[in-house]
Amino acid sequence: MFICPGQAATLERIAASKGEDFYRGRLAKAIADHARATGGLIDEEDLAAHECDWVEPLSIAYRGLVLHEIGPSGQGIAALMALGMLATLDLKGAGFDTALSHHLQIEAMKLAFADLQAYVADPDAMRIVTAEQLLSPQYLASRARLIHPDRAAPARAGAPHSGGTVYLTAADQKGMMVSFIQSNFKGFGSGVVVPDTGIALHNRGWGFTLKPGHPNQVAPRKRPFHTIIPGFLTRGGMPLMSFGLMGGSMQAQGHLQVVVRVADHGQNPQAASDSPRWRILDDNSTVAVEWNFPPEAVEGLRARGHEVRMAKRFDTEFGSAQLALKTEHGYIAASDHRKDGYPVGF
């Protein structure tokens, strides 16, 4: 049995004050005091200045479905961009789990990542290239034309014109569906815990860059680029599937692969989750694949010039999905076998 009285008291204070105490009360002072005592920079003013934004998600249509993602400073836009490129290609005709199918997806994802790394930041700092410009159909079609069916290519950012994570999904009998994700980031956050509170501070500042002039350059009063993205699919304007996939930069890649499997190949949520995945590594070139990836697809990718690395059987770097698909008479819930998770109905 795990007992943490300090955290229990923290949760009671947050509940009683509807969150106010965390940002402007006793908890805020405890966080700021501990930061001062340990060389940190966060203070009462920072916490009091925090605001929650109610935002309209970004979306893109794909094969009769619509994928919705939270916009920058998150990476969800990369999944949308890659799907927008693939929408101009005959992915179904490329075959199921073939080398060509995976190659087209990987190349689209690489191009999206190149733009992500060059342009995506706190939306208030994205003054040169906006999210709308990155999702322009004309721009995505031009990016898709860079994809060669028979060879891998280096992915560089384009020039658009004025143009330790936990995920859960919940759905009720009335059709309300929630897609939710939370993370303290690497190593379960900073490792700094405010004494007697149970509050572990995150280290999302890792997502900033030090490159001068970059829209994501570290600065005060600014959100860093981050990886956590809840996903949602609709069809005909109605909710279809709430889903998410934990795992850093694997999240946008995983969203892309899940949507392709559902939309192009008609897989159910559990099959889409269970299928072997690829992952583009941080160099935006090398591709890692799971141990059970089709051998002929691996050979085909290598023949096209991809550097492919086979992962060990129990590699945990390929994300972990949770999904809930709405049907005529209820839901199909699915949970990834790669990490802890559980689908339950009651």
Active site residues: 165
Using an 8 Å Cβ cutoff, are 93 and 197 in contact? Answer: no
In DSSP terms, 263 is beta-bridged to: none
Using only C-alpha atoms, what is the Rg of the chain?
A: 21
Confirm if 226 and 312 have CB atoms less than 8 A apart: no
Phi, psi of 137 (to 5 degrees): -55, -40
Read off the tokens for 136.
Answer: 């322009």
Amino acid letter, residue 255: H
List the structure tokens of 120: 């995506």
Tell me the H-state helices in the chain.
Answer: 5-17, 20-24, 26-37, 44-48, 76-86, 99-119, 131-134, 137-144, 250-263, 269-274, 295-303
